[in-house]
Chains A and B, each alone.
Chain A
């Protein structure tokens, strides 16, 4: 059994690689590529040079201008618990502190010579002052780098303008979107009489100034970084070559927050709703399915089948709107809150219900939360009875006609025991299959229900991520769901072995 488990766990690695690669490639293949959402956000700004700078900066920051496969491997490297190369630093919040990134050389160095950069020496602070100093240097490095990357983009635009002004054949070197790749212009002797020349010259000068500042800041920040202002993270296996570290899901582009923080905030909400909903649906659907199979064709069977299928046929969207309209609307019943997860001011509540100073009964945090999740749970549960109950019923009926049931009856086993001990026990396998399916569903959350009731769960998080093409968030979510799915399937196989002695993995 143990070797089987280990083998199964080992097989998960290539499967996960395949899943993440596919998701990554799908995102990359999507029209507009990975950074489309960011481009849209940037595009809302009116100043075109700012847009160019912003885009260039974001692409640079998230490495979006590298080939897709490089981006994927980088993502994997962060996720992998086994790290190669020097170890990362981690700040007080446990967030990974990246080394200041290298500054690319300015393009077209032959036509526009790069001035030599001298880096003024800097006293690296130690002890107390180390972290504030590093933070400042890091900020400077980021700022100057952003400036520089933006200037490079403007320089490229200037080359494009120049080419357009120069006309054929230079104009043909522009790409389809009318942009210029400086490498295509390395052999050009720039004509100072061209109408666009002054602008180009100025763009080059700006770029060189920004470059100098960026290099200075980068070198200083790197120096400070190598002085280890923060503790290094991870456990070295071979120092500076291989180390173990906690996996890092990265930073969500759209919110500029670590993905893990976002998930850690949304997951408990979804889990809460599902952990209330699933037991309810199982505790109602399975017994009624058993009863329906025992009274096959009877009034209960017909009625429960009709009721469940009717409920199943109501779209969640409609049910959610009706639930809010009738059950939450103060003009009707007003039994439940309309949206959200807590009453405003619920932070002040104690966990259990209490009576305040003026003798008024207060719900307390627990009941407040349960009250708020009431409608979302209702909407999650009502449609689930049909499938589960029908599956139980079908599985029971399969076994009712089995030979061993006849044997049990012939032994004189009372009907109740025949149903529960013999038939139901043998009907467990399909129920196990359905049961483990709830784990990935729990993690994924329900988009529709969370949207309708404004619940900040996993479903809302993911749909937002997809809207904004937030690569890190989508990847992290699919990765986690894939992991849970595979663990759930493994759990199913273990449960099969427990439920059926014929199943053995030795």
Chain B
């Protein structure tokens, strides 16, 4: 199914259809409640060379629903990983600091939770997998020890039951002969197998939210497809919300329901995957798509993002607002609203959010935070 075929999928009817597919009205109601809401999150770090604090994330909003895959896209250093690490409260403080905002999970603000309270959430209710499967497992403990460590931490079970859960978790991620494999060490596994183990470990405690920080970057394409297929399948059976952090647009197009494009610690565009790919509204997103080389497109030089963001015309395409960009071409930057953050996320069309300059006119409007209870219907 091509992205354009579900252009209207933000319609209520389509959403209902998706919910119906997931089974039952009760289920539908449950699925309509966000599992994770990041609101106006700002995180900064000490500057070790003595300059001003480094603002890694500056007013990020995103909402994750059960069974939904929210892809967070952006270049290195745009704040994707900091957002995910903040959700786990894995940011070392200091040097890190939560400046403002909240991360709501099950009605509680994660930012304000104590370390003890976080211990039960980390790994238990919110799990995370990382991009380096080769080094993400402890080399001196066997797979069983590491899997069962997570199980013992979050479930009150005896050793036999823990082993049974571990074996089941290994089976779920498609590892053959799990009983034997539990006694093996990470170095005896291939990269793809290790990432499966990481996923098994993350999912053994049936988390509500999975933060997948570039889970397939280090893997080859076939293994990448297998891992993502596996995640989709487990997500459906467990009502899990996945925050998929990546900079691979192919992975986004294949797997995401909703896409959040980030740049320089800000959300620049937020939309469902098909609408975004059909018609990117922010110049940066357009630049991102245009910079993808096409097989039949023969040109001397590929389009860079700068080619797009240096063109003033690109910033005048949406009526009433000017898209936000830190390095604006001359003449397009509007007058800002005094004493307020220069950036605001505006719903420029129904269910389409674009990061814009905060002007006095925009200041008067109320802004709905990005929230898309949408799941693609093609699977």
Contacts and interface: CB of A to CB of B under 8 A. Distances in A.
Interface in B272-296: none
Interface core residue of B130, B140, B149, B201 (most chain A CB under 10 Å): B140
Contact of B119 (A407, A414, A499): A414
A407 B140 contact: no
Contact of B124 (A402, A406, A412): A412
Contact of A412 (B119, B132, B135, B141): B119
B136 A412 contact: no
Contact of A404 (B128, B137, B185, B202): B137
B198 interface: yes
A92 interface: no
B90 interface: yes
Contacts of A403: 130, 132, 135-136
B88 A404 contact: no
A501 B137 CA distance: 13
A413 B153 contact: yes
A501 B140 CA distance: 6
Interface string A362-380: 0000000000000000000
A407 B198 contact: yes
A424 to B, nearest CB: 11
B122 interface: yes
B7 interface: no
B34 interface: no
Contacts of A500: 139-140
A255 B185 CA distance: 58
Contacts of B150: 411-412
Interface string B139-155: 11110000001100110
Contacts of B153: 411-413
A422 B138 CA distance: 7
A502 interface: yes
Interface in B148-192: 149-150, 153-154, 185, 187
A295 interface: no
A415 interface: yes
Interface in A388-433: 402-404, 406-415, 422, 425-426
A500 B140 CA distance: 5
Contacts of B149: 408, 411, 413
Contacts of A501: 139-140, 142, 185, 187
Contacts of B346: none
Nearest to B185: A501
A473 B137 CA distance: 53
Nearest to A407: B136
Contacts of B137: 404, 407
B141 to A, nearest CB: 8
Interface string B201-245: 110000000000000000000000000000000000000000000
B123 interface: yes
Given A406-B90, A501-B187, A411 B140 contact: no
A409 B115 CA distance: 11
A404 B138 contact: yes
B127 interface: yes
B138 A412 contact: no
For chain B, the bracket of interface size reads 20 to 34
A10 B297 CA distance: 68
B138 A407 contact: yes
B139 A426 contact: yes
Contacts of A415: 115
A426 B140 contact: yes
Interface string B50-75: 00000000000000000000000000
A122 to B, nearest CB: 74
A404 to B, nearest CB: 4
B304 interface: no
Contacts of A410: 88, 90, 122-123, 127-128, 130, 202
Interface core residue of B120, B142, B187 (most chain A CB under 10 Å): B187
Contacts of B136: 403-404, 406-407
Interface string A50-78: 00000000000000000000000000000
Contacts of A413: 123, 149, 153
B122 A412 contact: yes
A502 B185 contact: yes
B345 interface: no
A422 to B, nearest CB: 6
B38 interface: no
B121 interface: yes
A425 B130 CA distance: 22
B138 to A, nearest CB: 4
A245 B123 CA distance: 65
Contacts of B198: 407
A406 B140 contact: no
Contacts of A407: 130, 136-138, 198, 201
Nearest to B132: A403
A408 B138 contact: yes
Given A403-B135, A411-B201, A414-B119, A502 B130 contact: no
Contacts of A425: 138, 140-141
Interface in B78-98: 88, 90
Contacts of A406: 90, 130, 136
A411 B123 contact: yes
A409 B139 contact: no
Contacts of B128: 410
A115 to B, nearest CB: 82
Contacts of A402: 135
A388 B202 CA distance: 37
Interface in B9-26: none
Nearest to B94: A297
A359 B154 CA distance: 63
Contact of A411 (B122, B132, B185): B122
Interface string A462-506: 000000000000000000000000000000000000011110000
A307 B317 CA distance: 66
A500 B186 CA distance: 11
A406 to B, nearest CB: 7
A403 B218 CA distance: 14
Contacts of A414: 119
Contacts of B122: 409-412
A355 to B, nearest CB: 53
Contact of B123 (A412, A422, A499, A502): A412
Interface string A349-368: 00000000000000000000
Interface core residue of A404, A406, A407 (most chain B CB under 10 Å): A407
B84 to A, nearest CB: 10
15 contacts: A403-B135, A404-B138, A404-B139, A406-B130, A406-B136, A407-B137, A407-B138, A407-B201, A410-B90, A410-B128, A412-B118, A412-B120, A412-B150, A413-B149, A426-B140
The 3 closest A-B pairs by CB, nearest first: A412-B123, A412-B122, A411-B123
Given A412-B121, A500-B139, 4 more contacts: A404-B136, A404-B137, A412-B150, A412-B154
